[in-house]
């Protein structure tokens, strides 16, 4: 079968760029599609201080570097959305918003999106006090007062995590009890996490940075102000698994694509990496996943990689 490109990477975030670098260096012809301008969720991070090698760098700047790096090895198709992938006998058809391509293997790096509160100030202060990832951004709030919004295990663990970094932490939950395990709630209380029950966030406000939130008690309907420097919204992730579902890829109970340690899915010629595959949600782990998936994908195009 004649391929337009040997390997197609869908999604130009950290995982996709790493996959492109590794596939290209392994001797494959590579195309990368992104419905937008690329960069993925990292673009929302004003500062990244946990990608080894860069003590502190803007998310946009880091992704710009990765893009330039990947462009050495792959053709980039920005603004071209992949609408459908069809398995062929000996290849994969990639149907985009512009045209069709035949490739030998596809690596899905479509990422995930953070479930939003959809309140005033959330979008405006994203990256300026509003965060969706305590592991990523917690350290920036060391010694400061923060709110965690949510009531599941993730929210409570993020609250404990922020506490141990040295934050003063309030969990805002709309009901009078958590979905989280009781033991976690006990641990959080023991460690000094404070809970504000039956409350919803109505607004996030500030000037340059977040300065506080307006919360409403759903029972009394009373509003109050909580002054905080950070708001961690922990109400769930939405892995971008539309293409994966079309293809019949196995997903876990949260909708993430199930892959083995080399990024192989249950369907031949289809690989996956990055936030669409798991919940660790770190730039460094996404890159490693992309690199491995690229090495594994070589075999699908009749080539070799040492791994």
Q: Binding of a second copy at residue 72 (CB under 8 A)?
A: yes
Which one of residues 8, 66, 109, 247 is an interface residue with a second copy (CB under 8 A)?
A: 66
**With respect to a second copy, which residue has the nearer C-beta, 21 or 276?**
21
Q: Looking at beta carbons only, is 6 or 80 nearer to a second copy?
A: 6
Task: Give yes or no for a contact between 158 and 181, defined as CB atoms under 8 angstroms apart.
Answer: no
Q: How many residues bind a second copy (CB under 8 A)?
A: 53
Cβ at position 304, least distance to a second copy in Å: 4
Site string for a second copy, 103-142 (x = CB under 8 A): -------------------------------xx--xx---
137 is catalytic: yes
Residue 45, both tokens = 């991070």
For residue 92, give the H/E element and its range.
Answer: strand 91-96
Binders in 210-269 for a second copy, by CB under 8 A:
261
Instruction: Compute the least distance from the CB of residue 100 to a second copy, in Å.
Output: 26
Strand, coil or helix: 57:
strand
Binding of a second copy at residue 68 (CB under 8 A)? yes
Taking CB under 8 A as the criterion, which residues in 167-206 touch a second copy? 187
- Catalytic residue status for 109: no
**Residues recognised as catalytic:** 133, 136-137
* Contact positions vs a second copy (CB under 8 A): 14, 17-18, 21-22, 25-27, 49-55, 62, 65-66, 68-70, 72, 134-135, 138-139, 154, 157-158, 160-161, 164-166, 187, 261, 279-280, 282, 284-285, 287-292, 295, 303-307
């Amino acid at each position: 079968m004649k391929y337009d490109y040997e390997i197609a990477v869908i999604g130009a975030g950290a995982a996709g760029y790493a996959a492109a670098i590794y596939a290209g260096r392994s001797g494959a012809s590579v195309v990368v599609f992104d419905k937008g301008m690329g960069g993925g969720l990292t673009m929302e991070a004003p500062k990244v201080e946990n990608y080894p090698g860069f003590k502190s760098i803007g998310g946009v700047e880091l992704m710009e570097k990765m893009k330039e790096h990947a462009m050495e090895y792959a053709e980039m198709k920005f603004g071209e959305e992949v609408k459908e992938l069809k398995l062929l006998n000996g290849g994969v058809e990639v149907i985009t918003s512009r045209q069709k391509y035949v490739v030998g293997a596809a690596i899905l790096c479509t990422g995930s999106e953070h479930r939003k509160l959809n309140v005033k100030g959330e979008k405006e202060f994203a990256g300026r006090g509003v965060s969706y990832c305590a592991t990523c951004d917690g350290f920036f709030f060391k010694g400061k007062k923060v709110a965690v919004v949510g009531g599941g295990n993730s929210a409570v663990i993020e609250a404990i995590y922020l506490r141990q970094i040295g934050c003063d932490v309030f969990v805002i939950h709309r009901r009078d009890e958590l979905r989280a395990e009781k033991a976690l709630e006990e641990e959080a209380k023991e460690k000094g996490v404070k809970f504000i029950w039956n409350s919803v966030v109505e607004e996030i406000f500030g000037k340059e940075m977040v300065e506080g939130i307006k919360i409403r008690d759903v029972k009394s309907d009373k509003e109050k102000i909580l002054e905080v420097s950070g708001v961690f919204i922990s109400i769930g992730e939405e892995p971008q698994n539309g293409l994966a579902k079309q293809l019949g890829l196995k997903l876990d109970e949260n909708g993430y694509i199930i892959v083995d340690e080399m990024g192989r899915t249950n369907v031949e010629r289809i690989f996956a990496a990055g936030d669409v595959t798991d919940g660790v949600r770190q730039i460094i782990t996404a890159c490693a996943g992309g690199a491995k998936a690229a090495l594994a994908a070589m075999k699908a195009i009749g080539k070799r990689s040492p791994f």
